[in-house]
Chain A
Amino acid sequence: DTEVTQTPKHLVMGMTNKKSLKCEQHMGHRAMYWYKQKAKKPPELMFVYSYEKLSINESVPSRFSPECPNSSLLNLHLHALQPEDSALYLCASRTGTSEYNEQFFGPGTRLTVL
Chain B
Amino acid sequence: TQLLEQSPQFLSIQEGENLTVYCNSSSVFSSLQWYRQEPGEGPVLLVTVVTGGEVKKLKRLTFQFGDARKDSSLHITAAQPGDTGLYLCAGARSGAGSYQLTFGKGTKLSVIP
Question: Do the two shown chains form a genuine complex with each other?
Answer: no
